[in-house]
């Protein structure tokens, strides 16, 4: 069965004077052509390209021009009933767009339909952060939208893969929430991050949205939030790099180095893009 995001019948002709609309071949009465529904009546018409105004008149009703007697009287009766509600005027024919509230075509309406179809909904609305590199912003956006190339996502899209297990632990499924939240590698890293921050946050998160929502709702000052966000972005980035290296059997990123890499990257990003970074020794002790 053919599937379309925006059905064809969302764009239809609104008939008024019928001097531009073909009676049989245009979709003006319903979301189908009269030629397709009443083909046995269409074939004996002397003018297959006739306009609606050639066949319908407010004064005379239907004006037929058959080359022979129509073979299907039941179809003719059904067609006459379909045309019973048609009334013409002096206005010009126009196209109507069902998706738009005013019946007019707007690019913004199409964009909304496409976004609602392609993008998963998320209660957390990402904000572009100028204190981290562009590629990290893009990575975080893909993470929140669950558009990273995980094994579970590949399987969902129909790819034939030999396993959907997490490359890091081979226990849970290789999904977004597992890789970054519940995998034992991720939990170990987050535990060290909490100790480094010398702060307490819940250890019961099971989804990425829960984590970001908690961070957004915290009462920390703006400067503390910036340092926390940079550190968390670095944590997510290095967890993903470790997952990829493990998947491809590459030892470039080792689990024992994850915490040091996170502290180094987050400090470098903050130092290069703001004046909020403390000294390196202070950063190592507590970034907040």
DSSP string over 178-192: IIIIISHHHHHHHHH
Strand partners of residue 56: 62
- Which single residue is written with the structure tokens 């993903």? 240
State residue 11's pLDDT score: 56
Residues shown for the chain: 288
201 conformational bin, left if phi > 0, alpha if psi -120 to 50, beta if neither = beta
* Cβ neighbours, 10 Å, residue 190: 19
Q: What is the pLDDT along the chain (288 residues), one digit of tens a residue?
A: 344 555 555 655 555 455 677 888 887 776 778 888 888 888 888 888 888 778 877 555 677 888 887 766 777 788 878 777 666 665 555 566 666 666 566 666 666 666 555 555 554 556 778 888 999 999 998 988 888 999 988 888 888 888 889 888 888 888 988 999 889 999 999 999 888 988 766 666 677 777 777 777 777 788 888 888 899 899 999 999 999 999 888 777 888 999 999 999 999 999 998 888 889 999 998 887
**Dihedral through CA 7, CA 11, CA 15, CA 19, nearest 10?**
-110
Q: Which two tokens stand for residue 154?
A: 């590949």
Q: What is the CA radius of gyration of the chain?
A: 32
C-alpha 256: how far from chain center: 37
Domain ranges in the chain are 8-117, 134-285
Residue 154 and residue 187: Cα distance in Å, rounded?
24
């Amino acid at each position: 069965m053919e599937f379309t995001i925006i059905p064809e019948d969302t764009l239809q002709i609104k008939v008024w004077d019928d001097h531009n609309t073909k009676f049989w071949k245009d979709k003006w009465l319903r979301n189908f052509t009269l030629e397709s529904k009443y083909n046995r009546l269409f074939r004996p018409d002397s003018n297959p390209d006739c306009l609606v105004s050639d066949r319908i008149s407010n004064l005379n009703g239907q004006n037929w021009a058959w080359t022979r007697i129509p073979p299907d009287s039941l179809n003719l009766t059904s067609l006459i009933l379909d045309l019973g509600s048609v009334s013409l005027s002096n206005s010009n024919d126009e196209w109507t767009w069902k998706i738009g509230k005013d019946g007019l075509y707007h690019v913004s309406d199409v964009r909304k339909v496409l976004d609602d179809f392609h993008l998963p909904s998320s209660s957390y609305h990402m904000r572009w952060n100028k204190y981290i590199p562009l590629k990290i912003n893009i990575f975080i956006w893909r993470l929140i939208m669950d558009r990273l190339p995980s094994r579970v996502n590949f399987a969902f899209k129909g790819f034939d893969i030999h396993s959907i297990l997490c490359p890091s632990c081979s226990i849970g499924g290789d999904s977004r929430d597992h890789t970054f939240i519940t995998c034992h590698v991720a939990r170990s890293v987050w535990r060290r991050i909490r100790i480094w921050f010398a702060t307490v946050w819940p250890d019961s998160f099971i989804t990425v949205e829960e984590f970001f929502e908690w961070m957004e709702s915290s009462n920390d000052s703006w400067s503390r939030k910036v340092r926390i966000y940079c550190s968390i972005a670095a944590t997510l980035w290095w967890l993903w790099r470790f997952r990829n290296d493990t998947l491809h059997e590459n030892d470039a990123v080792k689990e024992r180095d994850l915490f040091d890499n996170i502290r180094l990257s987050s400090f470098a990003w903050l130092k290069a893009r703001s004046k909020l970074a403390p000294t390196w020794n202070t950063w190592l002790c507590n970034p907040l």
